[in-house]
Chains A and B, each alone.
Chain A
Amino acid sequence: MAESQYSFSLTTFSPSGKLVQIEYALNAVAAGATSLGISATDGVVIATEKKLPSTLVDETTVQKIMTITPSIGVVYSGMGPDFRVLVRRARKTAQTYFQTYKEHIPVAQLVRETAAVMQEFTQTGGVRPFGVSLMMAGYDDNGPQLYQIDPSGSYFAWKASAIGKNMTNAKAFLEKRYSEEVGIEDAVHTALLTLKEGFEGQLSGSNIEVGVIGPDRTFKVLSEAEVNDYLQEVE
Chain B
Amino acid sequence: MDFFVGIKGKDFVMVCSDTSASHSIISIKQDEDKIVPIDDHKVFCIAGEAGDRVNFSEYIIANVKLYALRNETELSTKSVANYTRGELAAALRSSPYHCNLLLAGYDKETGPALYWMDYLATLNKINTGGTGYGSYFTLSLFDKMWHPELTPDEAVAMIEAGIAEVKKRLVVAPPHYIIKIVDKDGVRVVKNV
Contact = CB atoms under 8 A, between A and B. Distances in A.
Interface of A: 99-103, 106, 108-109, 141
B78 A99 contact: no
B73 A106 contact: yes
A106 B71 contact: yes
10 contacts: A99-B86, A100-B86, A101-B78, A101-B79, A101-B82, A102-B78, A102-B82, A103-B76, A108-B71, A141-B109
- State which size class the interface on B falls in: 10 to 19
A102 B76 CA distance: 10
Nearest to B73: A106
B56 interface: no
Tell me whether chain A's interface is mostly helix, strand or loop, or mixed.
Answer: helix
B82 A109 contact: no
Contact of B79 (A103, A108, A109, A141): A103
Contacts of B82: 100-103
Contact of B83 (A101, A106, A108, A109): A101
A143 B78 CA distance: 21
A100, A101, A109: most-surrounded residue (chain B CB, <10 A): A101
Nearest to B72: A108
A100 B60 CA distance: 13
A6 B83 CA distance: 46
A2 to B, nearest CB: 40
B75 interface: yes
Nearest to A98: B82
Contacts of A108: 71
Given A100-B86, A103-B82, A106-B73, 14 more contacts: A100-B82, A100-B83, A101-B75, A101-B78, A101-B79, A101-B82, A102-B78, A102-B79, A102-B82, A103-B76, A103-B78, A106-B71, A108-B71, A141-B109
Contacts of B86: 99-100
Nearest to B75: A101
A141 B76 CA distance: 12
A108 B72 CA distance: 11
Contacts of A141: 109
A109 B67 CA distance: 11
Nearest to B80: A101
Nearest to B123: A102
Nearest to A102: B82
Interface in B31-88: 71, 73, 75-76, 78-79, 82-83, 86
A100 B86 CA distance: 6
Contacts of B71: 106, 108-109
A135 B138 CA distance: 56
Contacts of B83: 100-101
Interface string B104-130: 000001000000000000000000000
A100 B81 CA distance: 10
Contacts of B109: 141
B157 to A, nearest CB: 34
A221 to B, nearest CB: 28
A13 B121 CA distance: 50
A4 B154 CA distance: 77
A109 B79 CA distance: 15
Contacts of A102: 78-79, 82
Contacts of A99: 86
A80 B16 CA distance: 58
A217 to B, nearest CB: 14
Contacts of B75: 101
Contacts of A101: 75, 78-79, 82-83
A102 B86 CA distance: 10
B5 to A, nearest CB: 25
Contacts of B79: 101-103
A99 B90 CA distance: 12
A109 B70 CA distance: 9
